[in-house]
């Protein structure tokens, strides 16, 4: 493949050089921000040599090339188009300006919680492993090494407000270290640990206001709202405080004012919001049962297209951190929807006679089993519509199964086969059965339905 020829072929299909605002790339995709997305010729782009799919998402035009190829195409593209190379973050900032308010909110939450996922995955994996060891009696839970590992497994959840405080302040334009400090205030040892509050807690009288001295360990919404307030306050203070005093007064006043407001008002309100969301979800989970799984599993992939699914991390972390719940019962449903996309995508491979489509369908379909669905959704299934509908049906059936079977996970971020590592030990088999149901149903339905590829 001649990458220079590919670049030259792409530019007019994107509306010309003057329509290209910025370009960047990730591991597999060329990411572009355009002046006018309506000027692109999507069907022609998908016929360009090396292109495995093209879709619009999060304000960007994303062209799938695959690992190892995209960086070469990117270098040639920026040279031919005469634009400077931008980071993926720069392109995302430009793209955000094109999103509606709901998509912007989802993107903001994604930027806050995605950097935290490695810590949650590490804790969740360790928590699941220790649960397996404890269940089968493979080690003494009173041993020093087990106790230490148990400490390690809960650490990320204990300091979750500090982690969120840092990333949220960075996203909201505040000082991330002040955000982390605010998270520390909300989890200070002087406050009764939120997980032991059943044993009693102290209250303090603050100017006639009765303040419950309860910490916010493992909570999400209190620190999120508090840091939003803090970042706004910090910006306003910098406008009025002289430069000579800014270094001293701005952080001092920001921490003091936000600390009081958070403990008195924002914290309790945020806790109530989180508990309300958890109550609604657990009620649906317990009483609607498999119907809830059918609905969520059948609609998740449609939500992925809008990008709003990025906001779900906040809710999932809230479930994990809530001691009355303690598991992520949403992620297994999302996992079924992702696997179903793979089943439908591979069905296209067996139905089509188009060699180009076949070459895309296999890696795209198998990637879904690892939790990576973009190539399958945008490169194959949505392109022919009916395979996407088949995947929705497969996701619905798989979702109904995992909810009926009470499958839970101990972390966020991993689906498909890698997700087995964070499934509760008692649910591993039912999780695998769910994947077989979702994949098999989507494959069967996509095979039976009638549709033609572009070349047929």
Q: What is the DSSP string of 28-46?
A: SEEEEEES-GGG--HHHHT
CA atoms of 166 and 99, how far apart (whole Å): 25
* Interacting residues of 177 by C-beta distance below 8 A, sequence separation 6+: 166, 169
Tracing tokens 């990576």 back to the chain, one arrives at: 372
Residue 19 Cα distances to 10, 23, 34, 60, 197, angstroms = 12, 11, 5, 13, 58
Q: Which of 113-118's residues contact partners 24+ apart within 8 Å by CB, and which partners? A: 113/164, 113/167, 113/310, 113/313, 113/314, 113/317, 114/310, 114/313, 115/167, 116/156, 116/160, 116/163, 116/164, 116/167, 116/317, 117/313, 117/412, 117/413
**Catalytic site positions:** 26
Backbone torsions φ then ψ of 237, nearest 5 degrees: -65, -40
Strands (E), 186-311: 203-206, 209-212
CA atoms of 199 and 192, how far apart (whole Å): 10
């Amino acid at each position: 493949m001649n990458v220079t020829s590919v670049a030259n072929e792409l530019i007019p299909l994107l509306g010309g050089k003057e329509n290209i605002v910025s370009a960047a790339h990730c591991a597999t995709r060329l990411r572009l921000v355009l002046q006018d997305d309506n000027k692109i010729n999507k069907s022609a782009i998908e016929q360009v040599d090396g292109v495995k799919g093209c879709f619009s998402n999060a304000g960007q035009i994303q062209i799938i090339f695959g690992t190892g190829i995209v960086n070469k195409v990117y270098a040639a593209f920026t040279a031919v188009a005469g634009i400077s190379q931008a980071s993926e973050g720069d392109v995302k900032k430009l793209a955000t300006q094109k999103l509606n308010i709901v998509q912007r909110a989802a993107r903001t939450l994604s930027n806050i919680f995605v950097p935290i996922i490695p810590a949650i995955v590490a804790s969740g994996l360790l928590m699941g492993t220790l649960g397996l060891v404890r269940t089968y009696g493979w080690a003494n839970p009173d041993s020093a090494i087990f106790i230490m590992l148990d400490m390690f497994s809960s650490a990320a959840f204990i300091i979750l407000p500090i982690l969120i405080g840092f990333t949220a302040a960075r996203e909201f334009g505040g000082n991330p270290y002040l955000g982390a400090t605010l998270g520390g205030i909300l989890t200070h040892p002087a406050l009764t640990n939120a997980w032991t509050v059943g044993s009693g807690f102290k209250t303090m009288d603050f100017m006639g206001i009765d303040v419950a001295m309860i910490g916010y360990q493992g909570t999400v919404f209190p620190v999120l709202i508090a840091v939003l307030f803090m970042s706004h306050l910090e910006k306003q203070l910098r406008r009025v405080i002289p430069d000579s005093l800014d270094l001293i007064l701005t952080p001092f006043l920001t921490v003091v004012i936000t600390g009081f407001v958070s403990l008195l008002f924002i914290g309790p309100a945020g806790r109530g919001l989180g508990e309300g969301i958890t109550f609604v979800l657990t009620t649906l989970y317990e009483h609607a049962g498999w119907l809830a799984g059918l609905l969520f599993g059948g609609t998740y992939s449609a939500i992925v297209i809008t990008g709003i699914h990025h906001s779900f991390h906040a809710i999932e972390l809230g479930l994990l951190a809530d001691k009355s719940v303690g598991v992520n019962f949403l992620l297994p449903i999302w996992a079924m929807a992702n696997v179903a996309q793979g089943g439908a995508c591979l069905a296209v491979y067996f139905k089509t006679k188009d060699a180009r489509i076949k070459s895309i369908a296999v890696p795209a379909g198998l990637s879904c089993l690892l939790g990576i669905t973009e190539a399958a959704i945008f490169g194959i299934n949505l392109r022919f519509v009916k395979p996407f509908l088949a995947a929705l049906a497969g996701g619905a059936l798989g979702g109904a199964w995992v909810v009926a079977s009470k499958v839970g996970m101990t972390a966020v971020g991993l689906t498909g086969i890698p997700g087995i590592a964070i499934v509760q030990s008692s649910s591993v088999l039912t999780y695998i059965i769910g994947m077989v149901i979702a994949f098999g149903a989507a494959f069967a339905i996509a095979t039976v339905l009638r549709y033609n590829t572009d070349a047929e």
